[in-house]
């Protein structure tokens, strides 16, 4: 049981700051501003399910794919961090976030917003989140590997991702309530701050990848 709890906490604590659906909620609301509340609820559920599947696939298959192609994990972190930082910069420099028809990132009247792109990827689950999921999947329990240990670790990690998916759904489902609470000015401030934090996260991922790559072995 302790191994399950430990894997759960590791997964949730590692992924939540990067996925951070509370920061993604204003972006979600901006992209779906032309939709009804019922349609936004459906998209929130789809984004949560897609995000869970994407993270689970990254955790389960990522380490094997990296080993197959001979790609080192720090290289993946650098590439993912660059993409995250570029997305944060693009969102930070948008001149009119509240003008839904003036940005390719937003849903204007008659413009369909996909539940996978851009809502799930890269808005909710991007390369940074996927690289963290791959890192979690690469970890092995201490000591000689046993089937029971691997099962406990996998159970805790999957439960952690379920908790992440639930937080995505709740934050996106009630994004309009968050917007009403903050108001138009507060919403824009939160969007700009979230974009800056997203850019900082990307740069930090790049730095961590670079540090691991140049560190003496």
Using one digit for the tens of pLDDT, what is the confidence trace for 88-146? 787 777 654 433 333 344 444 445 667 788 788 878 888 778 878 887 887 655 555 57
DSSP-assigned letter for residue 206 = H
> What are 159-197's pLDDT values in tens digits?
999 999 999 999 999 988 877 787 767 767 776 777 787
Q: How far is residue 127 CA from its own chain's centroid?
A: 8
Handedness of CA 133, 138, 142, 145 (dihedral sign): positive
The CB-based long-range contact list for 141-150 (8 Å cut-off, 24+ gap) reads 141/3, 149/3
CA distance 85 to 206: 9
pLDDT reported for residue 164: 95
The tokens of 43 are what?
Answer: 């998209």
**What mean pLDDT comes out for the span 210-217?**
79
**Cβ pair 3, 152 in contact under 8 A:** yes
Long-range contacts of 94-97 (CB under 8 A, 24+ apart): 97/30, 97/188, 97/191, 97/192
For residue 73, pLDDT beyond 60: yes
Residue 57 and residue 119 in contact, taking contact as beta carbons nearer than 8 Å: no
């Amino acid at each position: 049981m302790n191994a399950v709890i430990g894997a759960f906490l590791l997964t949730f604590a590692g992924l939540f700051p990067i996925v951070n659906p509370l920061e993604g909620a204003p972006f979600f609301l901006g992209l779906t501003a032309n939709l009804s509340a019922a349609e936004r609820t459906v998209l929130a559920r789809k984004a949560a399910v897609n995000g869970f599947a994407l993270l689970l696939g990254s955790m389960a298959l990522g380490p094997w794919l990296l080993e197959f192609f001979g790609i080192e994990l720090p290289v993946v972190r650098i590439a993912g961090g660059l993409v995250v930082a570029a997305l944060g910069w693009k969102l930070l420099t948008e001149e009119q976030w509240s003008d839904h028809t003036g940005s390719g990132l937003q849903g204007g009247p008659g413009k369909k917003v996909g539940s996978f792109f851009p809502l799930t990827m890269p808005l909710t689950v991007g390369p940074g989140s996927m690289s963290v999921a791959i890192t979690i999947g690469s970890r092995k329990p201490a000591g000689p590997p046993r089937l029971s240990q691997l099962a406990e670790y996998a159970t805790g990690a999957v439960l952690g991702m379920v908790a992440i998916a639930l937080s995505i759904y709740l934050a996106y489902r009630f994004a309009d309530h968050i917007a009403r609470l903050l108001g138009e000015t507060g919403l824009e401030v939160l969007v700009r701050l979230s974009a800056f934090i997203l850019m900082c996260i990307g740069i930090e991922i790049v730095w961590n990848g670079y540090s691991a790559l140049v560190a003496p072995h």
